[in-house]
Structure 1
Amino acid sequence: MKPLKTTSTKKKSTPADHYPQLYQDFRWNVPEHFNIAEVCCHRWADDPKRVAIFHENSEGISGRLTYAELQKQANQLANLLRLQGVDRGDVVASIMPQRPETAVTLMACLQLGAIAMPLSFLFGPEALEYRLQHSEAVALVLDASGLDAYLSIANQCPHLKTVITVDCPNAPADFHPMEWEAYVANMPAEFTCEKTRATDPAILIYTSGTTGAPKGALIPHSAMIGNLSGFVASQNWFPKKHDVFWSPADWAWTGGLMDALLPALYFGKPIVGYRGRFTAETAFYLLNKYKVTNTFLFPTALKMMMKAVPAPHDKYRLKLRAIMSAGEAVGDTVFHWCETALKVTPNEMFGQTEMNYIVGNSHQQWPAKPGSMGRPYPGHQVAVIDDDGKEVSTGETGEVAVNRYDIHGHPDPVFFLGYWKNDEATRNKFTGDWCRTGDLALRDEDGYLWYQGRADDMFKAAGYRIGPSEIENCLIKHPAVANVAVVPKPDKERGNLVKAYVVLSPGIKANDKLTKELQAHVRGKLAPYEYPKEIEFIAALPMTTTGKVQRRVLRLQELERANKNGD
């Protein structure tokens, strides 16, 4: 499909390039004491009419939560958690979709000085069990979406002392949690926020690893500040008077939490929370109904919307003024569709859980190059380096890295504190003051970065960050599997598909029934997006002389096949 063309005969003007001045003039202002809940909720709570969250579910039941109500409920939950013995530095987990109680739980934990650990409601039992055990979480808040998965592993979580349920009328009779409706509403509505330092831990998010188990990235309160320059720029200088934010990104992930929920609340603006499956039609419905002005949409979502509704302004009254996209390359076709059909130039962005919102575009301030990751956002010193930590020349491929200090020699607040209970992994993330992303790119003569692939075996599929080890560990537990390697298979729609190369145990024969059985095995234990969409049975995996699987060989094989087939 060729890129859509504008019907205008006028020559399109090129935006002025304000980047050099913006980047050079930027300075961080990080106070000694800082709390995310204080700036994202408490300071807005005096206005009883200010809306924090518009919420709706798939049945069309909708409502709104003001900042005053958000603060009151956060105070009540914080009092309940403190009564249950939760203290500063304790980990409190939550398993909920985009609903008001998710934000309430987050604010309650942060003002308590506890560490919030949001977990995706898509997690299966094994993924959930590992995170709850490894984090030593002492409390859990969940709704019906995570109930079954939790109940199947509840006995394996000895540190968990308090469980609070939201809307779980069908919980088994022998399960006796604290019901939100009965306990939270009866707690005092006043709570004094703990005085936290900007460098104190705030959020724990586990990232899938390519080797070993998932790693818990511990995020400080100051990372909220570190995200802001990129967020403001990618959202075309958010906020403006009537801004409303929405993104389908799960609030348990960095994309939904740090790129949508928290920054929207930081600026005192409303965000839309939707509990339901993403479809193109639903996306346009929400954009239209809530007069959404700003959004974060994965390229996969944009592709679905482009195919389902090629000319959205013929059907909907859209108010969109900014689109940020990340997770994979947008591509020329989708880029030009956004420009012509949505009438918004998308701003691509790049970041990681460990240091988010570091590179990207802001097309109203500097020209966007379709397909480019963009330039380093103000406040972040970003380079493309070699194995020794030295910058490579323009046009050469190297690893994207972020320095601990900005160009003025001041500490960059965007960084994570380290990996939870994994000092070695934390040390390996750095080469001197450079924090390595594991992503390869080249820098052009204008300072734009162009993505070239992963330095390790991590990959993204449909916007989700996938680590092969967790899937491989799950598959290897099946008695039919002797060995396995998981790699990305290029796909036009999703960027990549999860593919597993499987070596069968002696005496086991490959067939379609076994393929479906192995897929169901993974789907039942991990998140739905992690199960292998394709399985290829082979006699042996390519190995190094030291016995390590050479996933790179299999990745290249998939790339060659895709190129040969025109995919």
Structure 2
Amino acid sequence: MVDYTAACDTHDLEVPKNFNFGRDVIDRLAQDEKHVALVWCDKDNNERTLSYADIASASNRVAHYLRSQSIRKGDRVVIMLPRIPEWQICIVACLKLGAIPIPCITMLSKKDVHYRVQHAGAVAAITLSSEIVKFTSCDQMLRARLAIGSTDAPWDDFSIISQFPGTFDSCDMERLDPAIMYYTSGSTGQPKGVCHPAQSLFTWRYSAHYWLSLTDRDVMWCTADTGWSKAGTSILFGPWSQGSTVFFYDGPLEPKRRFELIEKYQVTVFCAAATELRQLIRESVDEFDLSSLRLTVSAGESVNPETLDAWKALTSVPLLDGYGQTETLMTVLNYPGMSVKPGSMGRALPGIRTAILLESGELKHTGDEGELLIGLPNTQTMLRYWNDPVKTKAALLTRNDQTWFKTGDHVVQDNDGYLFYRGRTDDIISSSGYRIGPQEVENALIEHPAVRESAVIGVPDEERGEIVKAFVILNDPNAAGPQLVDELQKHTKATTAPYKYPRQIEFVSILPKTVSGKIQRQLLRKHAARK
């Protein structure tokens, strides 16, 4: 982007009446059989390279398999896979069929999986053979079960897809047809199913164009996990809409290894959470040739100005922060060629209208602090929360015949239109780029026989942005001690996704509450800040 104002003035979004990502992006690019779509490797240096033609034929076979199991347009399919090529292949297969993929991380617990299958009414699941056990309680709800790795009935081994044709007639998807669903944590209750329509999958290309500035000559590496919407936009829909090659690494976070891979695979655009970048800037890069790298971006949590400066000094490459939500995807960004203000999320993506909702109820655009609103209709915003009309309605605000989506995030907008993040209006914890609902952790803790009551908040952490802290009331106060802290942490890891466990636990005798019995988390945050 050379000129932000000019880009906004000339931006013309025309969403096709029918759009099927699998047909209209993947199959189109597959016409060039040599065009590389994906380069994958793992921690043991196993490698695979797949062209767009390879992705097209493999996804066609998976689509045929799903159809043979009576999976149809509109059916929900849980895809719980790690960072392996089958993740992209299976999502594209669902899109071609018109089924609704639900990407999930493999760290989910059995209870997490059961909730998603039941809540979404999912009728098919694709996972690793080692993860099948997590589907035991909901197995009878499924019509199709596909596993990567050796398995027994009723699960089918992924190798079965070789029996099906490599061509497939993809279905038409109208703009508002449900196309994909992500589960995101809420501050209260269970995770919400965020359902996006086909037009979202088309529109997400614009952040890849304006923010990532991707072309068919780029190699894009985003380290987000497979269940997060950021993975969808920066590993799949964004880069492939631009014809870019995606690098996909299945391995642990090892700072030196990150730079080795950037050099080896000639990565041009790198995307990582602030937590990861704060570890990388401590590494020496003298031994690496990073000349291929031209841009680094981050999202999921705010990047502090010190990290921005340190990354530029280390790599000679700009680091551009961005803001988005599962419901809206990337909406406020810093762009190549535009001045960066330290600490700012950037400016609204061309085509996005924003406003600030003050506590007084007034709508403003500059100067004051308030809740960030996204103007509707907006083609990249969610269709609805699945099976939850009450929460869907609560997320909307109508003023003077204009409807807005309420992000729940407090921001300040300066006179130049730059937005600065100030915090959540709800109690979501953002830790290492993962969104954690406090009630999910509280629900896990209360299942332990030693716990009478608990309250969970996020507290600042230099490495992770925030960490989970639990205030716990015990049935027997005399049981408090380091041994019980360790036991409760292990219990939480076993009960819910491990990344949600409380890294800090404080035993208390009372929790602050309102007269109606609601926990006053703000008072707990103040208490934690004083310690």
Q: 1:46-445, aligned counterparts within 5 Å? A: 46-144=31-129, 147-148=130-131, 150-167=132-149, 169=150, 171=151, 176-181=154-159, 183-235=160-212, 237-239=213-215, 241-309=216-284, 312-364=285-337, 366-387=338-359, 390-392=362-364, 394-404=366-376, 411-432=377-398, 433-445=403-415
Could you tell me how far 1:152 is from its partner in structure 2? 4.3
Q: 1:329 to 1:152 in 2, by over 3 A?
A: closer
AA paired with 2:136?
A
In 2, Cα distance between equivalents of 1:233 and 1:34: 21
Please state if 1:20 is matched with 2:2. no
SS at match of 2:187: coil
SS at match of 1:517: helix
In 1, Cα distance between equivalents of 2:427 and 2:147: 37
AA paired with 1:449?
L
Could you tell me how far 1:528 is from its partner in structure 2? 2.1
1:495 pairs with 465, 473, 478, which one? 465
SS at match of 1:452: strand
1:486 pairs with 456, 464, 482, which one? 456
- Are the counterparts in 1 of residues 452 and 475 from structure 2 also a CA contact under 8 Å? yes
Could you tell me how far 1:357 is from its partner in structure 2? 0.8
- Are the counterparts in 2 of residues 335 and 346 from structure 1 also a CA contact under 8 Å? yes
AA paired with 2:163?
N
TM-score by length of 2: 0.96
Q: 1:178 to 1:157 in 2, by over 3 A?
A: closer
In 2, Cα distance between equivalents of 1:307 and 1:453: 27
Segment drifting more, 274-283 vs 222-231: 222-231
Segment drifting more, 35-44 vs 366-375: 35-44
Q: 1:154 to 1:219 in 2, by over 3 A?
A: same
SS at match of 1:351: strand
Instruction: Note the residue ranges of structure 2 that are not aligned, 5 or more in a row.
Output: none
SS at match of 2:421: strand
Please state if 1:528 is matched with 2:498. yes
In 2, Cα distance between equivalents of 1:420 and 1:229: 25
Instruction: Note the residue ranges of structure 1 that are not aligned, 5 or more in a row.
Output: 1-15, 405-410, 562-567
- The one-character-per-residue Cα deviations of 1:482-518 (angstroms, maximum 9, x if unpaired) are 1111111111111111111111124662121111111
Q: 1:341 to 1:308 in 2, by over 3 A?
A: closer
In 1, Cα distance between equivalents of 2:77 and 2:54: 21
In 2, Cα distance between equivalents of 1:544 and 1:226: 43
Could you tell me how far 1:358 is from its partner in structure 2? 0.6
- Are the counterparts in 2 of residues 124 and 527 from structure 1 also a CA contact under 8 Å? yes
In 1, Cα distance between equivalents of 2:243 and 2:110: 36
- The one-character-per-residue Cα deviations of 1:54-95 (angstroms, maximum 9, x if unpaired) are 011111111101111111111111111001000110001111
- The one-character-per-residue Cα deviations of 1:204-250 (angstroms, maximum 9, x if unpaired) are 10100101111000011111233232232221x221x5210111111
Percent identity among equivalent residues?
33
Q: 1:381 to 1:106 in 2, by over 3 A?
A: same
Q: 1:374 to 1:159 in 2, by over 3 A?
A: same
- Are the counterparts in 1 of residues 329 and 380 from structure 2 also a CA contact under 8 Å? yes
Could you tell me how far 1:301 is from its partner in structure 2? 1.1
Match of 1:33 in 2: 18
In 2, Cα distance between equivalents of 1:110 and 1:315: 39
Could you tell me how far 1:156 is from its partner in structure 2? 3.3
- Are the counterparts in 2 of residues 429 and 436 from structure 1 also a CA contact under 8 Å? yes
Could you tell me how far 1:394 is from its partner in structure 2? 3.3
Q: 1:387 to 1:427 in 2, by over 3 A?
A: farther
